[in-house]
């Protein structure tokens, strides 16, 4: 496989020519130069991939747990062995700082495969109640649509549980960061995935994503992306009444209760908001703080921001690379300008690139304070390194502000009293709440309330999205 330029799709166990000769340029966000090209697929390519997946499904769906576990084990071993190659691809396609790619993007992607193996080993596909048996069966052909911000991580978050369930797959990665997906298809081939079980078609969401979502041969679609994209997928899928799982946008709060140790939680809170250059749907980009401690928070936040090193993502000293693409860079600049125009206090950062950078989609890590609920920066998902600090008077107002959003993907709570933090977390309308910056849990269900989506990923909850439930009444005793 010739990376970073490819004019092939992986369909039915081999690399095949697309139905058109159109190519999509992939831009290196650190230089704004063309890094390579990938083929632009169309409905005919989706048809071929879905047909291959449908042919493979009957046999693969009947494989044993041991067989699927062994396949996932081979995938995990190959991913671990090729981790640096994947990290380098992430640097080139979406500007991840190499240290972050090596320490987070690739290891967390690998963890999804290991988690799927662990869940598969203990999951009960058949349960009994009296003379009734409840059987969990693979749902069928799955269309998986993944984003540009965590390219490999989101692929394994979907592919691993789908394979564990016994489903077959058509993957449409983002055309903006497709190199790691091509490497993953190469890995799947080398792992010995049966022909048709895993297929990859590159292309735009408007063409390939729409065709996959509407395809009558696809039984389920899982998308990670913007809320707008999730709505379009759901609309396209509706006529065929297929299952749609959506992990979409967010505007997550980080609630600093008045008994929290500011020295221990403000710096990590800033870094959590700016992780992956702020390009994470669950990034805690609204920091809610006691009004009487606002000045302390601002000083600590500015200090943490000043320690961030923005620059060439290939340099080990860099802690923040560029925004992943030009359209998103322009969006971030627009929102920083909106914060200034709306009268928020600029604590750090601002418009433009950090000096001395003159090229590339580099943004200045930016912190606003005295942000009020009506400001655009408080309400809209920015998807960049922009943090809004919002003061509150008491816990009731903090909870109201935390829930004052159309989104409900994630939230953070910081407190010196675990019981108090638990009570506050219980009132937050979000799919995942993190108390006092815990370590990442790859089995914790992840997904959203409200416009952050439907369904869950990770762990048992993620596996079950790829399963149908069949009740067999009169089955008899176990």
Question: Would you kindly state where each structural domain of the chain is located, as residue ranges?
Answer: 9-248+452-472, 253-441
Three-state secondary structure string covering the chain: CCCCCECCEEECCEEECCCCCCEEEEEECCCCEEEEEEECCCHHHHHHHHHHHHHHHHHHHCCCHHHHHHHHHHHHHHHHHCHHHHHHHHHHHHCCCHHHHHHHHHHHHHHHHHHHHHHHHHCCCEEEECCEEEEEEECCEEEEECCCCCHHHHHHHHHHHHHHHCCEEEEECCCCCCHHHHHHHHHHHHHCCCCCCEEECCCCHHHHHHHHHHCCCCCEEEEECCHHHHHHHHHHHHHHCCEEEEECCCCCEEEECCCCCHHHHHHHHHHHHHHHHHCCCCCCCEEEEEHHHHHHHHHHHHHHHHCCCECCCCCCCCCECCCCCHHHHHHHHHHHHHHHHCCCEEEECCCCCCCCCCCCCCCCCEEEECCCCCCHHHHCCCCCCEEEEEEECCHHHHHHHHHCCCEECEEEEECCCHHHHHHHHHCCCCCEEEECCCCCCCCCCECCEECCEECCECHHHHHHCCEEEEEECCCCCC
Q: Give residue 463's pLDDT.
A: 98
Task: Give the residue carrying structure tokens 């390939």.
Answer: 208
pLDDT at 447: 98
Q: What is the distance between the terminal CA atoms of the chain, rounded to a whole angstrom?
A: 50
Cα–Cα dist 4/179, whole Å? 6
Q: Which of 307, 427, 428, 415 is nearest to 365 (CA)?
A: 307
CA distances from 339 to 279, 372, 388 (A): 18, 10, 9
Residue 6: per-residue pLDDT: 83
Strand 23-28 with 33-39, pairing: antiparallel
pLDDT in tens, 46-84: 999 999 999 999 999 999 999 999 999 999 999 999 999
Average pLDDT for residues 151-176, to the nearest whole number? 98
142, 220 Cβ separation under 8 angstroms: yes
Tell me what the mean pLDDT of segment 293-306 comes to: 98
CA–CA gap between residue 476 and residue 478 (Å, rounded): 7
Q: What size, in residues, is the chain? A: 478
CATH architecture of the domain with residue range 253-441: 3-Layer(aba) Sandwich (3.40)
Q: Which amino acids are annotated catalytic?
A: 247, 281
Q: How confident is the model at residue 123 (pLDDT cuts 50, 70, 90)?
A: very high
Average pLDDT over residues 75-101: 97
Q: What is the pLDDT of residue 3?
A: 56
Lowest mean pLDDT of 2-16, 79-93, 128-142, 344-358, name the range.
2-16
Distance CA 443, CA 433 (A): 14
Residue 453 phi/psi, 5-degree rounding, is 125, -175
Give the CB-side neighbour count of residue 372, counting CA atoms within 13 A: 7
pTM of structure: 0.97
| Torsion of the alpha carbons at 122, 128, 132 and 134, rounded to the nearest 10 | -10
Same topology between domain 9-248+452-472 and domain 253-441? no
Q: What is the pLDDT of residues 368-391, one digit of tens each?
A: 999 999 999 999 999 999 999 999
For the ranges 4-18, 39-53, 322-336, 440-454, which has the lowest average pLDDT?
Answer: 4-18
154/173 Cα distance (integer angstroms): 9
Confidence at residue 401, expressed as pLDDT on a 0 to 100 scale = 98
Average pLDDT score, the chain: 97
CATH 3.40.605.10 assigned to domain 9-248+452-472? The reply is yes
Q: What is the pLDDT of residue 478?
A: 84
Q: What is the pLDDT of residue 64?
A: 98
pLDDT on residue 1: 41
Residue 4 predicted with pLDDT over 90: no
Q: In percent, how much of the chain has pLDDT > 70?
A: 99
């Amino acid at each position: 496989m010739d990376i970073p330029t490819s004019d092939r799709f992986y369909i039915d166990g081999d690399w095949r020519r697309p139905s058109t000769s159109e190519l999509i340029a992939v831009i290196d966000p650190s230089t704004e130069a063309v890094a390579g090209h990938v083929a632009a697929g169309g409905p005919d390519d989706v048809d071929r991939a879905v047909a291959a997946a449908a042919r493979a499904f009957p046999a693969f769906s009947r494989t044993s747990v041991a067989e699927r576990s062994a396949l996932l084990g081979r995938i995990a071993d190959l991913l671990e062995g090729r981790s640096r190659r994947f990290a380098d691809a992430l640097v080139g396609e979406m500007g991840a700082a190499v240290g972050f790619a090596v320490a987070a993007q690739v290891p967390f992607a690998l963890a999804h495969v290991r988690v799927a193996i662990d869940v598969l080993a203990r999951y009960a596909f058949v349960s009994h109640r009296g003379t009734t048996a409840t059987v969990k069966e693979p749902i069928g052909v799955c269309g998986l649509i993944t984003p540009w911000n965590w390219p490999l991580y989101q692929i394994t978050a979907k592919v691993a549980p789908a394979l564990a369930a016994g489903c077959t797959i058509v993957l449409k990665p983002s055309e903006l960061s497709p190199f790691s997906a091509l490497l993953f298809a190469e890995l799947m081939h080398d792992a010995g995935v049966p022909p048709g079980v895993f297929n990859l078609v590159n292309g735009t969401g408007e063409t390939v994503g729409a065709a996959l979502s509407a395809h009558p041969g696809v039984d389920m679609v899982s998308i990670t992306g913007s809320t707008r994209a999730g709505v379009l997928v759901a609309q396209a899928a509706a006529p065929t009444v297929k299952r749609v799982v959506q992990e979409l946008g967010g505007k997550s709060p980080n609630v600093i209760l008045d008994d929290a140790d500011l020295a221990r939680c403000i710096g990590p809170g800033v870094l959590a908001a700016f992780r992956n250059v702020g390009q994470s749907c669950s990034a805690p980009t609204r920091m809610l703080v006691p009004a009487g401690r606002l000045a302390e928070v601002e000083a600590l936040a500015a200090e943490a921001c000043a320690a961030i090193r923005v620059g060439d993502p290939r340099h080990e000293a860099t802690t923040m690379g560029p925004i992943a693409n030009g359209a998103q860079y322009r969006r971030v600049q627009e929102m920083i300008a909106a914060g200034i125009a709306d009268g928020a206090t600029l604590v750090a950062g601002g418009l433009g690139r950090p000096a001395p950078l003159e090229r590339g989609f580099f943004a200045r890590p930016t912190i606003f304070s005295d942000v009020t609920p009506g400001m655009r920066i408080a309400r809209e998902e920015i998807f960049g390194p922009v943090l809004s600090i919002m003061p509150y008077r008491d816990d009731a107002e903090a909870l109201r502000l935390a829930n004052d959003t159309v989104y409900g993907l994630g939230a953070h709570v910081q407190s010196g009293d675990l019981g108090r933090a638990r009570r506050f977390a219980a009132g937050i309308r979000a799919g995942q709440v993190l108390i006092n910056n815990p370590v990442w849990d790859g089995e914790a269900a992840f997904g959203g309330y409200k416009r952050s989506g439907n369904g869950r990923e990770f762990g048992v909850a993620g596996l079950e999205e790829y399963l149908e439930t069949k009740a067999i009444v009169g089955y008899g005793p176990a």
